[in-house]
Amino acid sequence: MQYVSLSETDAMVSVVCLGTDYYGSRTPPTTAYQLLDQFADAGGTFIDTSNVYACWIPGYQGGESETTIGGWMAARQNRARIFVGTKLGFPYPGTAGGLRASEIERECERSLRRIKTDRIDLYYAHCDDRQTPLEEILEAFHRLVRAGKVRFIGASNWLTWRLAEARLISDSHNWVRHAAFEFRHTYLRPKPGADFAPQVVTTAQLLEYCRAYSVTLLAYSILLSGAYTRPDRSIPTEYFGPDSAARLAALHAVARETEASPNQVVIAWMRQSSPPILPIIGGSTREQLAENLNALALELSVEQMTRLNEAGS
């Protein structure tokens, strides 16, 4: 496992992050513990969760993923080496969501209890809240950092201009800045006009922002739920753009050349991109997770990266 610094902080995290949205729900705790052990045994330290995971599944209320992670860390006595990122902002039973100061403070306390910890390493605004002043949002996060309940803050599914405005406001008040962003991103490009609401996809503008300010960018939904490799999973229609055929052909060609799976090529391409993108990987089985972790051994050549980047251009 390799490690990188989180933006311009002294925190070092693994170069891949483990997504846990179904842990404690679709993925029962026993299986989740096995996958968490597998990730940690491979040197993984960065774990991604949210207060809403997975309230959309019938019979679940949200908080199941955080509770599972907290139970695992307590059982393994490994809290000191695990870097946990969690989020708030979307509604789930018991809260209407949003980013009012009172909501941020209350949800932080709930997440701390579920994770069985005294601090959240990275606390994201999971979505934007245009009804609440940015000053109120940013000051509330800053107070949590000052109180020692949160180490670093992040934002997910925001428009780039809002992130830039937030940075200016934080600097003007000497408040903590966002140390990480999390967005939907994969090798295929969305077709023009594709709508992923409430999720937000990366844009050229966002990538340039992260390059300019050295902000760590994490990507979710990177493998399109297995659609790159599984015949029973179709590429989402939102990615049927004018260049999708050319990019899929380039992806599969590089996979054949490197004797890797298309999934592994996507992960390697992401890590070698400019700016480097930290993939959130998953897997509901040990075999799937192993495939994703083994992508860390894949190094694409300059020529292969150029071909992948220019396909369909």
Does residue 178 contact residue 163 with C-beta atoms inside 8 Å? yes
Calpha distance 294→288 (Å, rounded): 10
Return d(Cα 146, Cα 175) in angstroms, integer.
10
For residue 116, count CB atoms less than 10 angstroms from its CB and return exposed for 0-12, middle for 13-18, buried for 19 or more. Answer: middle
Nearest to 90 by CA among 208, 248, 251, 199: 199
* Gap between the Cα atoms of 8 and 258, Å rounded: 33
Phi, psi of 9 (to 5 degrees): -110, 180
Catalytic option among 53, 60, 123, 124: 60
By DSSP bridging, strand 150-156 and strand 120-125 are parallel
Cα–Cα distance measured from residue 55 to residue 61, given in angstroms and rounded to the nearest whole number: 5
Position 77: which residue type? Q
- Give dist(CA 194, CA 289) in Å, integer: 29
33 is catalytic: no
Q: In this structure, what token pair is assigned to residue 205?
A: 């503008």
Contact 54, 62 (CB under 8 A): yes
Q: Give the residue from 25, 46, 43, 29 showing the smallest Cα distance to 182.
A: 46
Four-residue CA torsion sign, 144, 149, 152, 155: negative
Nearest to 216 by CA among 125, 153, 298, 170: 153
275: its two tokens: 């700016």
Sequence-distant (≥ 6) Cβ neighbours of residue 132 within 8 angstroms: 98, 99, 100
Active-site residues, by number, are: 60
